A and B are shown apart, each in its own frame.
Chain A
Amino acid sequence: MANLASDPSRSPLGGGSKGRFKSELSKRYRIDSLFSAAAWTAVTLLVLVLALLIGDVLVDGAARLSWDFLTSFPSRKAEEAGLLSALVGTIWVMVIVAVVSFPLGVGAGIYLEEFAEDSWFARAIEININNLAGVPSIIYGLLGLQVFVRWMEPITGGRSILSGALTLALLILPVVIVATRESLRAVPDSLRQAGFALGATRWQVVCNQVLPLALPGILTGTILALSRAIGETAPLITIGALTFISFLPEDLQSPFTVLPIQVFNWISRPQEAFHTNSAAGIIVLLGVLLLMNSSAVLLRNYLQKRH
């Protein structure tokens, strides 16, 4: 191939520059390699930055990681402080966010994609949802403060796990809805037609044929959205999540804190030792994130294999 590319006029096939064609193979291959080099550089840069970040955090915080660190409550003394309450808070919040946002988001996505007629109303909702996906998270915090913390206080108990989780669920709903719609749209229409032509109702077609195919994509989108939620700090601070919690939540109405808030709290203290705690906290947060993502990948692969 190489000599073919370097000298097209001497192509063994003799078609090099016949008639009005100028094959210019070497030039075309040069563009190929240019582009693949550019793509490679982009990937390398990203990986490098990520490696630097993780490396920096590991150097600062790895030594601080211990079982005690995971199982202790925060403390005024940096070497005794741990992030048990934040870790448990994050798990509570993420579970509730998933439980609330998955059915709501997927349901809304299915409705908009499979059931709604193409009307001005449906289009208005669509535009709104797409816009909501771009609203800064602190705005959701303000909304959560008014609606969940104040108006719904009898149910949520004010500045509680439930208020925080509902706020974050609201924040990621647009992303889940958009991901659901994209996945549904990727299912070939011929399958819906096949279902209808056998006398299936719309829900039978969606439930039996469309949804199983779209589920891996929906799960991927939901996990990406949850990954965003797990790192959110601003809206939770807005609704008043505490930074110093020395007890475990008892129910959904308990006050709470989460990992990013704990990290933020430690890093903003003057003592060096707390900064080390902060780095260790970041490692734990990344670990939880990784665990969540990999279990989603496993689940998706399992679902895909069934078809």
Chain B
Amino acid sequence: MDEQMEAVLRAEQVSVSYSGSTAVKNVYLNIPRNRVVAFIGPSGCGKSTILRCFNRMNDLVAGAKMDGRITFNDVDIYDSSVDPVDLRRQVVMVFQKPNPFPKSIYENIAFGARINGYQGDMDELVERSLQQAAIWDEVKDKLKDSGLALSGGQQQRLCIARAIAIQPEVILMDEPCSALDPISTLRVEELIKKLIENYTIVIVTHNMQQASRVSDYTAFFNAKATETGGKMGYLVEYDRTENIFHNPQQQATQEYVSGRFG
């Protein structure tokens, strides 16, 4: 890993447990600015859990507990002085299943901006966000229509537009394409590559081709069975994506990326 790269998010010795059982243990990870980082690994390896620590969405899960330290621009985000609501404006999240609000396309974009006290011209912000999310041409004549009337792929790009409307620094994506068809997936991937000029993106994916196509860095997580019958995730290897796929240092990584398990 190039150490000179400026890290936006930094995880140090992060462990997360749900109601006392450890879900993922001892993760060290730096997310470099204006890059795409992909988290890959089998189910239950804790990649989504780690992602949800970056904007403290895990706070909303009853029984979730995090140990270790995560910094955003060198500020400890679990410090008592940091308000998670404020953090989530800067580290936004796009979910696995497109979840537009059951409101108009316009309102979907305007909601986040409005609640965060946006002072500028709302029409202009809506147009710019939809353009950045490469969906403007498809929806510009029906901004008053419900967001739910769009196709799944369009809904997901609407959710991305909604996320960038509040001008965050980091966009966390939790398997954003797993509910989409291949063509919609391709469009979202193109969008990710374009967004990287202005944003930092962390993407969890089950699709290894997707990781190799869109990401600059890849973190491979694996899971091992615990005595209690559960699973505990851990970070196996984190490197430039081409290294992970073509020259992995760990045998587990080699086996996973070549499709021998997972």
Binding site for B on A (CB under 8 A): 117-118, 188, 190-191, 193-201, 204, 208-209, 213, 307
Contacts and interface: CB of A to CB of B under 8 A. Distances in A.
Nearest to B87: A199
B88 interface: yes
B115 interface: yes
Contact of B92 (A190, A191, A198, A213): A198
A197 B55 contact: yes
B60 interface: yes
B203 to A, nearest CB: 15
Interface of B: 55, 57, 60, 62, 85-90, 92-95, 97, 99-103, 111-112, 115-116, 146, 159, 162-163, 166
B99 A193 contact: yes
Chain A interface main SS type: helix
A62 to B, nearest CB: 46
Contact of B89 (A190, A199, A213): A199
A185 to B, nearest CB: 15
Given A197-B57, A213-B102, 17 more contacts: A188-B99, A190-B97, A191-B99, A191-B102, A193-B57, A193-B60, A193-B95, A195-B111, A196-B57, A197-B93, A198-B88, A198-B92, A198-B116, A199-B112, A208-B111, A307-B103, A307-B146
B62 A118 contact: yes
A113 to B, nearest CB: 14
Given A190-B95, A193-B99, A307-B102, A199 B111 contact: no
Nearest to A205: B115
A194 B115 contact: no
B112 A200 contact: yes
Contact of A198 (B103, B115, B146): B115
Nearest to B103: A307
Contact of B163 (A118, A191, A198, A208): A198
A192 to B, nearest CB: 8
Contacts of A208: 111, 115
Given A197-B55, A199-B166, A200-B112, A209 B101 contact: yes
Contacts of B57: 193, 196-197
